[in-house]
């Protein structure tokens, strides 16, 4: 049963020019990590009709435009239940992100989207959700968790188990959300850092795949959502399979270099699938049939 | 078509592969188009025969003829580049590669050796005394002239040519669809770079094939000099009209053996030197910088010129840079692996007033 | 998707070559011409040429350039204010392109149009919608033409509004394939003479002979018109096999094949600005360039040219079949003549045609 938010979505009505961005303005910029190379941008639509047209589900992404520098695809970190703004967490990597990181609130940007498929919400309903994430890939999972924990939606899902790891405590993102979720009964949140930190730490210590093996969440009626750097994914999948997950029940989100975001420029394909329209969310079963070019 | 060079080349390649002296031989095999021979990569398994199962040509497919224009040195840097995994571990030695080389190819190999892009002692160079290579475009132009430049009779030149064959007597017989067999003297249809070539003999090759190299030419600066006599407006007009056809396909860059940068300046986004489209200024600046990057390194093989699908007159500009470097520094990239490239070196005797005393009057002092 | 089936035409007529420019009275005419081409004698599609060329196999630059230019402005910006550009919708008449190129255009329509995931590319589609395409059937294909192997034909109709055939004397037979073509014939009725059945039958006979000749000249061991997945079924199981090393060894990674290919459509989007005023442009790009798939992090899913060249062939003969039911190759042969090292797509096709099909593989 779809919520009102979802009813208007899966594929929004395609705009007449899908390359034109919606104008948005930066409301707030938050530094997420100690290294200060991860910033969350809170964006507000300038036009109400754009805000209404931008119907998305957790797992989707958007192309954020920095006029003069270019566009970059980012997973949407806000949940559709947070109706007044969009959140994107951006790592400083290249010329577009550098321009973005140098911004101040009040700067106008552009957003194209929502793009891509989302997490498979139709399948996730009624299931126990096992979330595994590492590093700065946690962005769309912030969206997913916020969405599921919303009072309108919580009843649709079973237990939620989340494991989120980073190099050190300072590198964990969304610290205020994490603090709230730690206290909540609605989600079993486990945090991990790679090595013993030189500060008080009450979470787990170890690489995510190892901590997952240790915590061994039950696979009963569960689907796993995995988002992380390629190396983490490579070692996490065998653990999930050991625990008893079937390949169709391991859900991943891919990244690839993108430009158009709408399946025309030919750049982001993995085999016959375009990450921007057929993905970025794929099951492990689907990925096994694709060439390892990602 | 067999000749002494072909026979010898096959035997040498086969022997080197069988004796384990090389893991791979890079030469030429018959092309699929008339007037073209194309690169062949013969691996050790294929030493004795063709290997249709893997699709690799055998040593028996190697040929040498007047259609072997491609500069094979372009393939070498890739085999010696530092891959991320190789940085720390040298357990796997560099591959041993045999390569057939004309004079220009050898000069490129020497240039690449100086720039540490190939390991000379992992190469076995089979030098070919070069008689010059036939210019596909000259043959096509001659066939087009047959059709007549006025009017629309006959099919287009390239499609006219069905077959081309070199004869023992030094002729080229071209079978056409509408005009029967046309016969040319080799010299009539040789590439300009070969007619002008000063180094047809690959000095420093490890093994030399039999045969006589052509007499060295004069370097071909006369055309550049004539061009420089034109007014700057005329020269600009020519340059911009030639470059107006550029589609930014990068064939010129990829075909050049000494264009080996992993990230070309044209691809950098941070800083962004030029745009990626065919805006006239972008196309022109790309070519200007590419040619200047070849200063002291270009061996005048015309690979860029041949590769360009839009037939842009690149060779005028590459020749100009070669001439400027020779006249300014007395340097040509040839066979001496010890000769230091002028744009990569700076000696005590060279002028540096522009750093130490920028207000100095350079005209009075002269340049270094 | 084969063009080799029985053709049905809507209207037809005979027009004198001299009258062709009259058809473009209110349109921009693009036709093959030799004026100002380099080298002299080659043919390109020129706007409003003084003399239209008929004796050529194909133009060097394909038809895609008119609807999908090498560089075009998507919109301009002044600081953060975006101004849309007006996409040219002046009516275009293309005359004299070849059936392989019109077939390629139909395939590009399927990529840029809404049937592809619901998104329409307005820059391409607006130009397309206001265009009429009159192709010129081939009588003299070149040795590198292999349209029949890909399911096309030297007199194929797909993608054209009207197919023209040269006749004895200085006239042409026009046969309309679409409503648009029919409407053109009707609106220029006075220029057309009736085409009698025997004449048309003769034209059909000649077409069949040319088709047979092309097929015989370039029999590649597959007939994609009859079995669109014939190559896919053979290439898919061999994705990570040695065959690709050998086929791609001589590639130098230039983009010439992709740029001159009538169906290749990969593009880049980039910003060009001075301070903060500038434009966002779309330019051709090529999967053969090393940085095509390189992430900002430096990770590159296709690090070497074997992988990149394999992508080109897999896209054309496997992925497009899965996604669009098409083989994205029309057999025009431009990639063969453009390749600086004579890497021949026909060799690639033949190599795989010899392999067992996935269904028959043990």
Same domain, A187 and A210: yes
Residue A84 and residue A203 share a domain:
no
Q: What is the dihedral of CA A199, A200, A202, A204, to 10 degrees?
A: 20
Overall average pLDDT of the A181-198 stretch = 94
Helix, strand, or coil (residue B176): strand
Contact C276 A264 (CB under 8 A): no
Nearest CA in chain C to B37: C342
Nearest chain C residue to A72 by CA distance is: C296
Judge: C286–B267 Cβ closer than 8 Å, yes or no: no
- β-strand pairing of A269-270 with A250-253: unpaired
Of the partner residues C42, C70, C337, the one whose CB lies closest to the CB of residue B33? C337
Nearest chain A Cα distance for residue C41, angstroms: 34
Say whether C246 and B55 touch across the interface (CB within 8 A): yes
We report the CATH number of the domain holding residue A50 as 2.40.30.10
- What's the number of domains chain A is made of? 2
B-chain residues near C243 (CB < 8 A): 54-55
Q: Do residues A79 and A155 both lie within one domain?
A: no
Contact B318, B294 (CB under 8 A): yes
Same domain, A96 and A138: no
- Flag whether residue C82 sits within 8 Å of chain A, measured between CB atoms: yes
A104 and A125 fall within a common domain: no
Chain B residue with the nearest C-alpha to that of A70 = B269
* Whether C38 and B245 lie within 8 Å, measured CB to CB: yes
The reply to whether A194 falls in a domain is yes
Mutate to test the interface with C, among B76, B309, B311, B316 (most CBs of C within 10 A): B309
Query: Would A196 be classed as within a structural domain?
Result: yes
Give the C-alpha distances (Å, rounded to integers) separating B19 from A236, B46, B112, B210, C335.
47, 13, 27, 22, 38
How far is Cα A185 from Cα C69, in angstroms, rounded to an integer? 58
Residue of B nearest to C54 (CA): B152
User: Which residues does chain B have within 8 Å of residue C38's beta carbon, measured at their own beta carbons?
Assistant: 242, 245, 310-312
Same structural domain, A183 and A209: yes
- Cβ-Cβ contacts under 8 Å, A94 against chain C: 296
Rounded to whole angstroms, the Cα distance separating B186 from B140 reads: 14
What's the rounded Cα separation, in Å, for the pair C114 and C89? 19
Q: What is the pLDDT of residue C359?
A: 67
Note whether C354 and C361 are within 8 A (CB). Answer: no
Q: What tokens were used for A28?
A: 């707030």
Chain B residue closest in CA terms to C281: B277
- Kindly state the tokens that stand for C296: 């900002």
State yes or no: pLDDT of A3 exceeds 50. Answer: no
| A44 located within any domain | yes
Per-residue pLDDT of chain C (362 residues; tens, 9 = 90+): 345 455 567 799 999 999 999 999 889 999 999 888 888 778 899 999 999 999 888 999 999 999 999 999 999 999 888 999 988 889 999 999 999 999 999 999 999 999 988 899 999 999 999 999 999 999 888 889 999 999 999 999 999 999 999 998 899 999 999 999 999 999 999 999 999 999 999 999 999 999 999 999 998 998 998 999 999 999 999 998 888 988 999 999 998 999 999 999 999 999 998 887 899 999 999 999 989 999 888 888 998 899 999 999 999 999 999 999 999 999 999 999 999 999 999 999 999 998 888 765 54
Q: Would strands A222-227 and A250-253 be described as parallel, antiparallel, or unpaired? A: parallel
Instruction: State yes or no: pLDDT of B88 exceeds 60.
Output: no
Residue pLDDT, tens place only, C20-79:
999 998 899 999 998 888 887 788 999 999 999 998 889 999 999 999 999 999 999 998
Q: Is the same domain home to A186 and A238?
A: yes
Spatial CA neighbour of C278 closest among C87, C70, C78, C73: C78
User: Is residue A285 domain-resident?
Assistant: no
- Kindly list the domain boundaries of chain B, sorted by start residue: 4-127, 136-189
Residues 87-116 of C with CB under 8 A from A: 111-112, 114, 116
| DSSP percent split of chain A into helix, strand, coil, nearest 5 | 30, 30, 45
Per-residue pLDDT tens digits for B205-233: 999 999 999 999 999 999 999 999 999 99
Set of chain A residues whose Cβ sits within 8 Å of the Cβ of B270? 94-95, 98
A58 domain residue, yes or no: yes
In a domain, A249, yes or no: yes
Question: Is A154 found in the same domain as A236?
Answer: yes
Q: What's the gap in Å between the CA of C212 and the closest CA on chain A?
A: 33
Give domain status of residue A277, yes or no: no
Whether residue A263 lies inside any domain: the answer is no
Is B141 touching C (CB cutoff 8 A)? Answer: yes
Domain membership of residue A198 as a residue range: 121-253
Which residue in C57, C304, C340 is closest to B306 by CB distance?
Answer: C340
ipTM of the complex: 0.90
C contact chains, 3+ CB pairs < 8 A: A, B
Query: Could you give the maximum distance between any two Cα atoms of chain C, in Å?
Result: 68
What's residue B158's pLDDT? 57
Q: Give the residue from A76, A98, A115 where a domain finishes.
A: A115
Percent of chain A with pLDDT over 90: 87
CATH, residue A182: 3.40.50.80
- Answer whether B263 touches A (CB < 8 Å): no
B270 vs A94: CB contact, 8 Å cut-off?
yes
DSSP notation for C58-118: --SS-THHHHS-SEEEEEEEETTEEEEPPPP---EEEEEE-HHHHHHHHHHHHHHSTTTTT
Q: Are A108 and C80 in contact (CB < 8 Å)?
A: yes
| A102 Cβ under 8 Å from any chain B Cβ | no
pLDDT in tens, A244-290: 999 999 999 998 999 999 999 999 999 999 999 999 999 999 999 99
Residue numbers in C near A264 (CB within 8 A): 111-112, 116, 119, 121, 265, 267
d(CA B38, CA B70): 8
Residue B214: CB atoms within 10 Å: 18
Asked if C75 lies within 8 A of A267 by C-beta distance, the reply is no
pLDDT class for B98, splitting at 50, 70, 90? very high
Last residue of a domain, one of A94, A115, A136: A115
Task: For residue B11, give every residue at least 6 positions away whose Cβ sits within 8 Å of its Cβ, in sequence order, or none.
Answer: none
Does the distance separating the beta carbons of C340 and B155 come in below 8 Å?
Answer: no
């Amino acid at each position: 049963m779809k919520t009102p938010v979802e009813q208007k979505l899966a594929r929004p009505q395609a705009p007449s020019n899908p390359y034109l961005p919606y104008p948005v303005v930066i409301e707030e910029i938050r530094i997420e990590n100690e290294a200060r190379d991860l910033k969350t941008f809170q964006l507000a639509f300038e036009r109400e009709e754009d805000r209404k047209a931008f119907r998305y589900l957790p797992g989707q992404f958007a192309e954020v435009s920095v006029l003069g520098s270019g566009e970059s695809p980012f997973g949407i970190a806000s949940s559709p239940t947070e109706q007044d703004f969009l959140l994107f967490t951006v790592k400083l990597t290249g010329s577009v992100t550098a321009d973005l990181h140098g911004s101040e609130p009040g700067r106008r940007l552009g957003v194209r989207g929502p793009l891509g498929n989302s997490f498979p919400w139709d399948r996730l309903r009624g299931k126990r959700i096992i979330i595994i994430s590492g590093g700065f890939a946690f962005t769309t999972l912030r969206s997913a968790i916020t969405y599921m924990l919303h009072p309108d939606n919580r009843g649709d899902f079973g237990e939620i188990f989340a494991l989120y790891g980073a190099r050190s405590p300072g590198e964990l993102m969304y610290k205020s959300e994490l603090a709230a979720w730690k206290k909540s009964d609605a989600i079993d949140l486990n945090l991990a850092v790679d090595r013993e930190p030189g500060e008080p730490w009450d979470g787990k210590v170890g690489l995510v795949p190892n901590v997952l093996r240790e915590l061994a969440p039950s696979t009963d009626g569960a689907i796993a959502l995995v988002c992380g750097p390629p190396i983490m994914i490579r070692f996490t999948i065998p653990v999930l399979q050991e625990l008893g997950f079937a390949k169709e029940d391991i859900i991943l989100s891919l990244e690839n270099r993108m430009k158009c975001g709408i399946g025309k420029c030919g750049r982001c394909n993995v085999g016959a699938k375009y990450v921007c329209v057929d993905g970025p969310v794929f099951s492990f079963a689907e990925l096994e049939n694709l060439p390892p070019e990602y | 078509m067999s000749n002494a060079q072909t026979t010898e080349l096959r035997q040498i390649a086969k022997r080197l592969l069988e004796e384990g002296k090389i893991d791979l031989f890079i030469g030429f095999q018959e092309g699929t188009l008339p007037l073209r021979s194309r690169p062949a990569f013969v691996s050790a398994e294929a030493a004795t025969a063709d290997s249709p199962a893997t699709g690799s040509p055998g040593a028996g497919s190697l040929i040498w003829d007047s259609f072997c224009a491609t500069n094979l040195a372009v393939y070498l840097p890739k085999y010696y580049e530092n891959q991320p995994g190789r940085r720390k571990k040298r357990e796997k030695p560099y591959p041993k590669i045999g390569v057939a080389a004309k004079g220009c190819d050898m000069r490129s190999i020497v240039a690449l050796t100086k720039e540490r892009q190939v390991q000379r002692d992992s190469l076995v160079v089979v030098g070919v005394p070069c008689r010059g290579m036939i210019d596909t475009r000259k043959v096509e132009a001659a066939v087009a002239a047959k059709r007549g430049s006025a009017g629309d009779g006959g099919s287009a030149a390239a499609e006219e040519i069905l077959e081309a064959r070199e004869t023992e007597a030094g002729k080229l017989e071209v079978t056409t669809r509408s005009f029967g067999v046309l016969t040319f003297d080799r010299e009539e249809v040789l590439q300009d770079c070969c007619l002008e070539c000063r180094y047809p003999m690959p000095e420093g090759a490890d093994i030399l094939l039999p045969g006589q190299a052509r007499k060295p030419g004069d370097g071909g600066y006369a055309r550049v000099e004539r061009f420089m006599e034109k007014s700057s407006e005329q020269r600009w007009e020519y340059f911009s009209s030639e470059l107006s056809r550029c589609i930014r396909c990068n064939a010129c860059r990829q075909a050049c053996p000494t264009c080996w940068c992993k990230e070309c300046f044209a691809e950098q986004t941070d800083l962004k030197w030029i745009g990626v489209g065919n805006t006239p200024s972008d196309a022109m600046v790309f070519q200007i910088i590419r040619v200047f990057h070849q200063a002291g390194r270009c061996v005048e093989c015309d690979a860029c010129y041949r590769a360009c699908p839009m037939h842009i007159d690149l060779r005028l500009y590459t020749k100009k840079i070669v001439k400027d470097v020779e006249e300014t520094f007395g340097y040509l990239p040839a066979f001496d692996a010890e000769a230091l490239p002028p744009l990569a070196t700076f000696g005590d005797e060279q002028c540096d007033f522009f750093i130490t005393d920028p207000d100095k009057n350079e005209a009075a002092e002269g340049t270094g | 998707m084969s063009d080799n089936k029985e053709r049905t035409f809507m209207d037809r007529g005979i027009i004198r070559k001299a009258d062709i420019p009259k058809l473009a009275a209110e349109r921009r005419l693009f036709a093959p011409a030799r004026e100002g081409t380099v080298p002299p004698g080659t043919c390109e599609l020129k706007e409003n040429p003084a003399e239209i060329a008929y004796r050529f196999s194909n133009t060097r630059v394909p038809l895609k350039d008119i609807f999908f230019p090498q560089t075009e402005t998507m919109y301009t910006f002044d600081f953060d204010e975006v101004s849309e550009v007006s996409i040219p919708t002046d009516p275009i008449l293309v005359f004299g392109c070849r059936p392989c190129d019109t077939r390629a255009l139909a395939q590009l329509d399927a990529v840029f149009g809404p049937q592809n995931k619901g998104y329409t590319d307005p820059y391409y589609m607006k130009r397309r919608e206001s265009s009429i395409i009159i192709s010129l059937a081939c009588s003299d294909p070149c040795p590198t033409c292999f349209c029949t192997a890909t399911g096309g034909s030297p007199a194929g109709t797909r993608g054209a509004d009207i197919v023209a055939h040269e006749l004895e004397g200085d006239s042409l037979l026009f046969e309309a394939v679409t409503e648009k073509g029919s409407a053109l014939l009707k609106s220029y009725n006075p220029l057309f003479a009736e085409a009698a059945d025997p004449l048309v039958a003769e034209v059909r006979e000649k077409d069949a002979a040319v088709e047979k000749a092309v097929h015989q000249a370039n029999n590649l061991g597959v007939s994609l018109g009859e079995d669109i997945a014939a190559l896919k079924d053979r290439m898919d199981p061999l994705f990570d096999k040695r065959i690709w090393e050998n086929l791609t060894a001589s590639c130098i990674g230039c983009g010439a094949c992709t740029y001159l290919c009538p169906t290749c459509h990969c593009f880049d989007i980039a910003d060009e600005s001075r301070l903060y005023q500038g434009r966002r442009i779309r330019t051709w790009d090529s999967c053969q360039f090393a940085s095509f798939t390189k992430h900002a992090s430096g990770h590159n899913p296709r690090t070497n040219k074997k992988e990149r060249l394999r992508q080109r062939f897999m896209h054309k003969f496997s992925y497009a079949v899965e996604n669009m039911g098409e083989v994205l190759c029309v057999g025009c042969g431009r990639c063969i003549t453009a390749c600086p090292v004579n890497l021949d797509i026909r060799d690639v096709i033949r190599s795989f045609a010899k392999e067992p099909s996935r269904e028959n593989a043990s």
